[in-house]
Structure 1
Amino acid sequence: MIGKRIRHLKRYQEIVSVLVKYGFGYIVKEVGLFHLLSLPKQIVSDFNGTGNDQKTLGKRIRLMLEELGPTFIKLGQLLSLRTDILPEQIAEAMRDLQERVTPVDIQTIDQIVCRELGAPVSEIFAQFDEQCIAAASIAQAHHAVLKTGEEVAVKIQRPNIDAIVENDIEILWDLASLVDKRYEWARTYQILDLVEEFSLAIRSELEYTIEARTTEKLFAFFKTDERVIIPKVYQDYSTAKILTLDFINGYKYNDLIQNCPADIDKKTICERLVHSFLDQALICGIFHGDPHPGNLLFFSGNRIGYIDFGQVGHLSEPMKRDFGDLIIGLMRGNTNLLLRTISSMAVMPDDLNERQFKTDLDMLRENYYRLPFKKVHIGAVIHDIFSVTKKHRIHIPKNYTLLGKALITLEGLITGLDHECNILEFAEPYGHRLLIRRLDPEELSKKILMNGYDIFENSIRLPGLLRKTLMHLNSGKTRVEMKLPQLEFLLAKVDRAANRISFSIMLLSLSIILACIILGETFGSRSLLSNVPVLSIAITIVLFMFMLVLLSIFRSGRF
């Protein structure tokens, strides 16, 4: 960690200064990064947290992340999904994060294209607009025309953004480790796991070959559906840092709100939004993770276009089933089904109070049992579920939180278009459809065969595993792991107490030695050493030893 701080010293100083600026100086001091501040800031800054107004906490965190740049903006966007661990007020503030960036000049863009595609812009494209059509902290997009005549959108990564992100990720790991050691809440909410999740997500977003594959899968999935438009990927003009797709230009969401075209029906659009999204999530298993107005386009004939698949979620077959069971359990008032489903889809803490958890689920169920679909808001349902899981420190996997956030965004879009429309009313047929699929003889036989195969495989492996276990027991190689969460805390207290006792003994010893030397000098007889400054030498040696012990105690950080 020390090596990282030296290597990224300037960036560390920037981050620490911004933390102090927005009222988080007490964290800087408590985790041991106080020395990275300049002397004037050390003098004038507040390190007690006395200026912390909880009402403005979310806003201050948002402004801080915006000032820290692209990596931290992306971190904020991830945190906005985690209402299972963050207070809603802070998560809501994270959703207002804005990327204020200056577009990269055309000369730099030309250099990137030449390096990635092997030729300058003028040789590859028949036309390439110098003015970008969209600019963000990670990339910007330009309209272009291929030599073969197709209109395309070219998404180009900003120069050196991958190096900037990697440096910031290293620093985030260091900061997260320091906070994890210092604060109980950081361990409770598994902040290190959160940083790991974020690292994987942003590295994936920087790799355009992954986005290209995802877009191609959804393009193939909706190829025969005329109601949904997914842009085609041009692989010959795409690399890890450049993504070239069909340029689709339709009505924007605000066009429908302000002056809806005559060839578009809002209610039909709402229904198709819900159906197309559920098709992605519950049938295809890949869904758009951020269906906000900027990533949607609308066309005559009530067609919908999705763009920008940098943030996507994935649902496996068991995850699809669990999500369906969650909604069914709420609507049918089945607490046991809710308990089983959440246990299956989430990571439960070892010390879970199952009785209290079931009581909370009963209360949650009562809020929605026998309630008509048109009166149920998906945002409220998801918020209530996350509130219960957060209370019991249950960890919800990223893809579920991403799905929840996407559904909340979708509900907001639908409400904005037509107040009478309800997302669950449109989704109800999917519930019946999923139920019919589960009861389909072919599906049931597949499941029975797979379960039978697993049982058969495990029964074959069981004797070997049992023999191996018995051999380990017989040879004494078996390890027993004990998880004692409070042990480290108790050891730290014992260590601190021992250091204080050592300090006291040193003070007492110093006093006794000095007293003996003074008495000896005062009342003792003269000798050959009478002319040697024994008192001064002795005091110097004792003080030197005393300072060595004292320094080692303080360096341990446990005094």
Structure 2
Amino acid sequence: MITLAPRHLARYAQIARLLVKYGRSDLVDRCGLRAAAEEGGDPPVETGRPEEFASDLERLGPTFVKLGQLLSTRSDLLPPAYLDALARLQDDVEPVDVDEVRSVIESELGVRISSAFDEFDDRPLAAASLAQVHRARLRSGQEVAVKVLRPDIREQVSTDLDAINELARTLDQHAEFARRYGFLSIAESLQESMRRELDLRTEAQSARALAGTLSEFERFRVPQPIDDFCSASVLTMEYISGTKITDLSPAVLIEVDRRGLADELFRAYLKQILVDGLFHADPHPGNLLFTREHDIALLDCGMVTHVDPATRHTLLRLLLSISDGRGADAATAARALGTPIGDGFDENEFNRRIAQIVMEHRHLPVERLEAGRSIMSIQCVAGETGLRLRNELTMLGKTLMNLDRVVCLLDPKFDPNAALQREATALMQRHTTRDFSLSRVFESTLEATDFVQRLPGRLNRITEMVADNDLRITVDAIDESRLLRGFQKVANRITVGLLLSSIILGASLMMRMEAEWTLFGYPGLAMVFFLVAAIASLILVARIGFDSASKGEA
């Protein structure tokens, strides 16, 4: 049973009541939290509805908001109604008092607000559970946005993560459901995500990296950090004025090359995911700003996912297989991105259902094509058939789902299959070219040099062993004598069969000759040959049957 740390007791009770409300009282019992769930009021009952789930998580605080965002990628774990509710999860809260914000900025940057900024707007542009953003102007005259972590937020999040990790570990030990869907893995992913988001220097690095990735796309902008005014708790970046894509009026959309913008947005994400292996994992409409120059600004680089080269190659195969309608190839690629859960993976069922998803995707009308939905369906099938997919694929599914929503707003007739097929050749070329980088050439050269340096010594050892008659070679091969006996037996039977056939043929010809001695009314000599051939044939068949039976028993 779980050991309840006194400082986590209140949190345990809140989590337990939430689980009971949404029909998972079995998990509460597994953890021994039934008493905690029933303390402090009426016993909880199973009355939760999907649309209430997001609100309940919001009330539990920022860690649980982030947990909800992570769960929104797990179509294998939650029903569609809950996924839709979590997709609308809001992260807007009451702002922190401006005096506390000013105190954090001055403490982190080591200067007074009045010395660092010519103007600083006390009213926040946005207030979220982890940080809030204020508009300001530097002494140089540059307009900036200043993102500031909430005071004491790290301590609060750390406490919540400890409680969640402890519960997840206990459930993994005592509940098959938790082990099957990787509760501990979810908790560890949440911890890693929160660690990155609570260090704004990481977000600054991601913004610089994404700007480099998207530099070839003229209509994309990523606000860049102002390094002299950044720290672990303060991020000062360029201010970009614009309108959320969801708030664009029809009059503005008429003036925009919507199809071209949708296509460039889709190509930009293909490059991030499949070529560079670094992509903005939260492109919901609120993070995409439409500027006055009719460009798109990509905001909030706190949620960025890295993909290694091998995984990028497999993801490319998966997406191309889906777009081409090749179900078997899509199943093979998806299988390579997962790990079977124990001995319960039903590979045949997995392959069958993935092929079905791909065929359904291929025959959908253009306005209903959703690449992200297909990935999430694959994840759901994987969970039900006993395959745990890698986190990169779950993040890809969520990213593509958000991207589908934005692209649909820009161009409802946009065809992701056609766009992917148009880019397939270029993606393959760039993917291959990136693998043959200068550093990889140097690495191969060093390995070749090491091989050449070691080769003389290895050859000397081999020749010495040959000279001393110490060289031994072990070969796992079949018994050649047994093989020859088998061939000889087959050859003998073929020879006997040919002789018997010749005797029967000769006897048949002799039947047409007149003879004084007859047997059963036929020429006697011909009948003798027939009888000899018949008896020999029966003996040969019996011998073959006897040998086969003997081998079967062996």
- So what's the TM-score if we normalise by structure 1? 0.73
Structure 1 residues 161 and 255: alpha-carbon distance in aligned structure 2, compared to 1, 3 A threshold: same
| 1:407 and 2:405 matched | no
Give the SS at the match of 1:170. Answer: helix
Structure 2 equivalent of residue 433 of structure 1: 426
SS at the partner of 1:420? coil
Q: Deviations over 1:362-390 (max 9, x none)?
A: 33343345878777431342233223212
Could you tell which deviates more after superposition, 114-123 or 439-448? 439-448
Aligned equivalent of 2:116? 124
Structure 1 residues 125 and 330, CA, compared in 2 at 3 Å: closer, same or farther?
A: same
Aligned 8 A contact 1:17 1:37 in 2: yes
**Structure 1 residue 222 displacement after superposition:** 3.2
Would the alpha carbon gap of residues 120 and 16 (structure 1) be closer, same or farther in structure 2, given more than 3 Å must change?
Answer: farther
- 1:347 is paired with a residue whose SS is strand
What corresponds to 1:80 in structure 2? Answer: 72
Choose the corresponding residue for 2:174, options 182, 204, 209: 182
What SS is found at the alignment partner of 2:319?
helix
In structure 1, C-alpha distance between the alignment counterparts of 2:9 and 2:175, rounded to whole Å: 24
Residue aligned with 1:217, SS? helix
Given that 2:246 and 2:286 are in contact with CA atoms closer than 8 Å, whether structure 1 keeps it comes out as no
Check whether the contact 1:4–1:171 (CA below 8 A) recurs between aligned residues: no
Q: Displacement of 1:18 after TM fit?
A: 5.2
Is the 8 Å Cα contact of residues 16 and 37 (structure 1) preserved in structure 2? yes
Q: Which residue of 1 aligns with 2:375?
A: 382
| Aligned mates of 1:138, 1:286 — CA distance in 2 | 23
Which residue of 1 is the match for residue 8 of structure 2?
Answer: 8
Partner of 1:97 in structure 2?
89
User: Which residue of the other structure, out of 424, 438, 444, is the alignment partner of 2:417?
Assistant: 424
Q: Is the 8 A contact 1:207 1:241 kept in 2?
A: yes
CA deviation digits over 1:425-455, x for unaligned, max 9? 3333221212344677995999999899989
For 1:128-207, list aligned pairs within 5 A. Answer: 128-207=120-199
Q: Distance in 1 between matches of 2:229 and 2:153?
A: 20
1:182/1:306 Cα in 2 relative to 1: closer, same or farther (>3 Å)? Answer: same
Contact 1:59 1:93 in 2 (8 A): yes
- Is the Cα–Cα contact under 8 Å of residues 414 and 423 in structure 1 kept in the other structure? no
Offset, 1:95: 1.3
1:412 positional shift: 1.2
CA contact (8 A) 1:286 1:315 kept: yes
Distance in 2 between residues matched to 1:339 and 1:366, nearest whole Å:
12
Any idea what the Cα deviations from partners look like across 1:165-222, whole Å, max 9, x if unmatched? Answer: 0000111112223333332111111111111111111111111111111101122333
Contact 1:287–1:314 (CA<8 Å) still a contact in 2?
Answer: yes
Moved more, 268-277 or 3-12: 3-12
1:84 CA displacement: 3.4
The separation in 1 between residues aligned to 2:364 and 2:276, in whole angstroms, is 30
Greater Cα offset, 185-194 or 297-306: 297-306
The corresponding residue for 2:349 is 356
> Is the Cα contact below 8 Å between 1:377 and 1:424 reproduced in 2?
no
How far the C-alpha of 1:328 sits from its partner, in A, is 2.2
Q: Which residue in the other structure is 2:235 paired with?
A: 243
The CA deviation at 1:90 is: 2.1
- Please tell me whether the aligned partners of residues 146 and 235 of structure 2 are also in contact (alpha carbons under 8 angstroms): yes
Q: In 2, distance between residues paired with 1:353 and 1:453?
A: 44
Query: Which stretch shifts more, 248-257 or 365-374?
Result: 365-374
Cα distance in 1 for residues equivalent to 2:435 and 2:178: 47
Match of 2:496 in 1: none
Partner residue in 1 for 2:315:
323
Letter in 1 for 2:203: E
The alignment status of 1:272 with 2:264, answered yes or no, reads: yes
SS of 1:433's equivalent in the other structure is helix
**Could you say which residue in structure 2 is the equivalent of 1:52?**
46
8 Å contact from structure 1 (residues 414, 422) kept in 2? no
Q: Which residue is 1:32 aligned to?
A: 32
Question: TM-score, structure 2 length as denominator?
Answer: 0.73
> 1: CA distance between counterparts of 2:438 and 2:150?
51
User: In the TM superposition, what is the alpha-carbon distance from 1:394 to its structure 2 partner?
Assistant: 1.6
Code of the aligned partner of 1:52: E
Aligned to 1:213: 205
Q: Secondary structure of the equivalent of 2:57?
A: helix
C-alpha contact (below 8 Å) 1:22/1:60 kept by paired residues: no
Q: Which moved more, 1:136-145 or 1:115-124?
A: 115-124
- Counterpart Cα distance in 2 of 1:365 and 1:448: 38
Give yes or no for contact 2:323–2:417 (8 Å, CA) kept in 1.
Answer: no
Number of the residue aligned with 2:509? none
Identity %: 30
Deviations 1:107-155 (A, max 9, x none): 1011101110112212211100000000000000000011111110000
Q: Select 1:396's aligned residue among 389, 394, 404.
A: 389
Letter in 1 for 2:393: Y
Q: Which moved more, 1:247-256 or 1:230-239?
A: 247-256
Alpha-carbon distance between aligned partners in 2 of 1:77 and 1:429, rounded to the nearest angstrom? 32
Cα pair 2:246 2:409 within 8 Å, conserved: no
Task: Please tell me whether Structure 1 or Structure 2 has the larger radius of gyration of its CA atoms.
Answer: 2
Compared CA separation, residues 390 and 442, structure 1 to 2 (3 A): closer
Question: What secondary structure sits across from 1:310 in the alignment?
Answer: coil
Give CA deviations for 1:253-297 in whole Å, capped at 9, x if unaligned: 134244316652222221222122223222332111111121111
Maintained 8 Å contact 2:204/2:224? no
Number of matched pairs = 454
Q: For residue 379 of structure 1, what is the amino acid of its counterpart?
A: G
Query: Against the structure 1 CA distance between its residues 340 and 455, is the aligned structure 2 distance closer, same or farther, given a 3 Å change threshold?
Result: farther
* Residues 331 and 371, structure 1, Cα contact 8 Å, conserved in 2: no
For 2:320 and 2:20, locate their aligned partners in 1 and report how far apart those are by CA, in whole Å.
48
Which secondary structure state, in structure 2, belongs to the residue aligned with residue 210 of structure 1?
Answer: helix
Task: Say whether the 8 Å CA contact 1:269–1:302 is kept in structure 2.
Answer: no
Q: 1:62 to 1:116 in 2, by over 3 A?
A: same
For structure 1, which runs of at least 5 residues remain unmatched after alignment? 464-559
Amino acid at match of 1:320: R
Secondary structure in 2 matching 1:141: strand
